[in-house]
Structure 1
Amino acid sequence: MWSALRSALSFSILIPDKMSMGYLGFVLLLWFPGVLHAQSETQPCPAPGLSGGYLVPEQDSYPHETTLTYACDNGLKPAVEGWWATSRCQNGNWFPTPQCIDEKACLPTILPNANYDASTKGWYDETTKIWVRCDAGYEHKDRVTTAKCTDGTWSSMPICEKSDEACGEPPKIPHAVVIHQEYQELFEADTKVQYECEDGYTAERADTKTVICISGNWTEGPTCNRRPDTGHGGATVEGTGGGHTTSAGSGTNPAGGDRRPDTGHGGATVEGTGGGHTTSAGSGTNPAGGDRRPDTGHDGYTERGTGGGQPTGGVTNCGTYPSVLNGDVVVVSGGYLKYQCSAFYKLEGPDTVICQSNGKWTEPPSCRDAFCVLDPAQITIPNMILSTIKYVKEGEDEFIPCIWDHFFIRVQCVNRRIHYTKCCHSSDHQRNVCR
């Protein structure tokens, strides 16, 4: 390597003088990259400028990886725990930086299951007050939420303990996993967790795929059963047009349709010739994801309608089923169709539609909104914690948490208008004395 370098240097002599130094530097970079890299990572550190303290050993420069010790003058203390401290030279910089601060200042502290705003200086001046926030699923013990820096120590430091309303990890369910949620040991009240059955299995009831943490307990979860053989018996679907939703979920099946999972109704046959119909208890345009429609309880679907006109003996004589926005066909029998609205919607008009002898359907019903929307971008309720849009069903109550532990606002949806109480303790809501 040295002979090659001498050749290169000899060659540089042939180059004009004003270029020789640049060329020499280029040659050194090519032949000694390892040496250059090592030098860039082992820079010495100049003596730190420590105000109000002294260094040991004290010198003008310190080699890479040198550790020095320092202490502070009376009335001051290091910006770390202890009356003396150390700092290490790392490639030209000191870590941590030696500093002397007022001995009455407070240093940051680690609080289990909690957090608070960090100081930009790295410490807190005397009389500084910090507000401690408990992590999700924890609450302030004895309702102590603040700490104050007094004579170099924190007074009445809050403690965050497990909330009685929080839940542990969701129950383990055979042949199912929790989706869209990282593992954690504790979940705050009102947390929703969704399960998904493994391939080849299906949930026994669609409304139990999601569990909710309520008062320290999880609601009932799903049971994942092996999916029945689709080639034997059960319900069948016939159709010549696309766009029918024929299973207990949202989506569109191809022309002819696939076999619907068992919905609890024996021996039902659904026929269709047009697109865009929902012919089972599937989800439509429910505002909050929708709830499963209650079981209609009809074996064989013998429900008869009472609307005008006479049935023709078969719904296929009238062609495409009438489309009802936010509504589904739940019963098909002879010349009758029965509709039901999706969750969060209310049926208006007759629920039964008849195929008349003239080949036309009687007037279908409509599905009216039956919910209120709590949108944090549009509505402001004092002291209420609301970070996402929430839907409240008509006639039902929702309890929204307040900024204080165990305090809630009761929200009601009446005639599509929002009514709410002030922030009250949960016990007051239970006694129905909060207004």
Structure 2
Amino acid sequence: MSIRYLGLVLLIWFPAPLYGQSATQSCSAPRLDGGFFAPKQETYSHGTKLTYTCNDGRKPTVKGWWVTSTCQNGGWSHEPQCIDEQACIPLDIPNGKYKKSPKGWYDNKQSIYIKCDKGYESKNRDATAICSNGTWTSVPVCEKSIETCGEPPKIPHAVIIHQEYQELFAADSEVQYECEDGYSVEGGGTKDSITCMSGNWTEGSTCRARPGPVNGGSAGGGTGGRPTTSTGSGTSHIVEVKNCGQRPVVSNGDIVGDNKMFLKYQCAAWYKRVGPERVMCYSNGMWSEVPICKATFCSVDTDTYPALLSVGVQIIKDGETGKLRCVDQDHWLTDHYSAVRCTNGKVNLSRCCGAIEWLFC
């Protein structure tokens, strides 16, 4: 027998599984305790649906008193199962998640802790749901946090970098942007960042067009390709920072970048930078504009407000409302509070009201 005929015989003799299985597989009939299903078959082809229901005192593991399950490549889209009617099926929590039960349902009186997604918080700080006789009680709601920011504002001639697009950003999130070719931010760099604070984005530096060559000269009119700037008494070149002597001190800020050609400043927590991020040295020994660090909070000294109970100095973030207890001289039966609002560094106090209505005084 020639090799060609031997190969033909081997192809005919070996079973098909050696050359690849079918793309789909059938399903065996499910074992359903405490219920019944239809149609009743020993096997079900891929894509076949069956419907099942449960006997009195029991219910399916998904919503509804009758349920459909589909055969998908040898398995069911969900395993037909009947559980005690006092147990609870899984919850659907928009913008939140919780630890899933390995058995697929939750016993009566069992509780679960809901963790809201980033940028969301539990309404009324209620984060626990309890299974009670087959239904969930006190189901938490994950709502957008008042400190969350939407998408960053569009910055002309710039693009956000190192960050995939998303609609919500949690408080204190920082995104960096980069100017397009031919543009730069204050200080000569091409990158800057903005931060989400109390529901709003901080203001970043503008991307401005760099000066072009004039009469065949170098960019900016300087020499050696370095930019120049006017200081009011002629034109000065930007030189190495060591030529300007003592470095500028920024209250509530620190130098975080010690480059040969510039200093980079960053404000402390709870402070916002106003002005350029980078400071450079001019050839006339003068520094370029220095930023300031502006407070993003209010400091409330309760000892200076006779209506407030003395508890020392309290800090409230800008744009937020704090709750401070009042002396309650005329309200000895219940505690009273003042709503203290911080707006652009200024404090506004409401009159003293009861513990429930204090925010609306």
Give TM-score, length-normalised by structure 1.
0.53
Which residue number corresponds to residue 212 of structure 1? 195
Report the Cα distance in structure 1 between the residues aligned to 2:3 and 2:66, rounded to whole angstroms. Answer: 54
Counterpart in the other structure of 2:42: 60
Structure 2 match to 1:222: 205
Distance 1:109 1:146 in 2: 12
Give a deviation string over 1:150-178, Cα, whole Å, max 9, x none.
11111111111121111111111111111
Q: 1:107 aligns with which of 80, 84, 89?
A: 89
Unaligned runs of 5+ in 1: 1-6, 13-21, 238-257, 304-329, 332-341, 344-392, 400-420
Deviations 1:267-297 (A, max 9, x none): 334678xxxx95422459x999xx866757x
Inter-CA distance 23–155: structure 2 relative to 1 (3 Å threshold): same
Q: Which amino acid aligns with 2:143?
A: E
1:301 aligns with 2:251: no
Name stretches of at least 5 consecutive residues in structure 2 with no aligned partner.
241-257, 298-313, 325-339, 343-361
Indicate yes or no: 2:182 matched with 1:200.
yes
- Taking the aligned partners of 1:229 and 1:163, their CA distance within structure 2 comes to 46
Aligned-residue identity in percent: 45
> Which of 139, 143, 146 is equivalent to 1:164?
146
Residue in structure 2 matched with residue 355 of structure 1 by the alignment: none
Count the aligned residue pairs: 280
For the pair 1:281 / 2:262, whether they are aligned, the reply is yes
- 3-state SS in 2 of match to 1:40: coil
Q: Aligned partner of 1:175: which letter? A: H
Q: Please name the residue that 1:405 is paired with.
A: none
> Is contact 1:68-1:86 (8 Å) kept?
yes
Q: Is the 8 A contact 1:200 1:226 kept in 2?
A: yes
Equivalent residues in 2 for 1:93-104, closer than 5 Å? 93-104=75-86
Select the structure of larger CA radius of gyration: 1
Cα distance change, pair 295–151 in 1 and its aligned pair in 2 (3 A): same
**Residue 147 (structure 1) aligns with:** 129
Deviation of 1:185 after TM superposition, in Å, equals: 1.4
Contact 2:183 2:190 in 1 (8 A): no
Letter in 1 for 2:262: A
Q: What secondary structure is seen at the aligned counterpart in 2 of 1:49?
A: coil
Alpha-carbon spacing, 1:263–1:431, altered in 2? closer, same or farther (3 Å): farther
Whether the 8 Å CA contact 2:186–2:278 is kept in 1: the answer is no
Shift of 1:261: 7.4
Partner of 1:180: 162
Residues of 2 paired with 1:204 and 1:147: CA distance? 52
Normalised by the length of structure 2, the TM-score is 0.63
CA contact (8 A) 1:79 1:99 kept: yes
CA distance in 1, matches of 2:203, 2:235: 29
Query: Over residues 198-254 of structure 1, what are the superposed CA-to-partner deviations in whole Å (9 max), with x where a residue is unaligned?
Result: 1111113569821111111111122111111252554445xxxxxxxxxxxxxxxxx
CA distance in 2, matches of 1:9, 1:104: 70
2:56 corresponds to which of 70, 74, 81: 74
User: 2:237 and 2:24 mapped to 1: Cα distance?
Assistant: 81
> Does structure 1 conserve the Cα–Cα contact (< 8 Å) formed by 2:94 and 2:142?
yes
Query: Does the 8 A contact of 2:228 with 2:237 survive in 1?
Result: no
Given the alignment, which residue of 26, 34, 56 partners 2:11?
Answer: 26
Tell me how large the CA RMSD over aligned residues is. Answer: 4.5
CA distance in 1 between counterparts of 2:199 and 2:222 reads 41
Secondary structure in structure 1 of the residue aligned to 2:143: strand
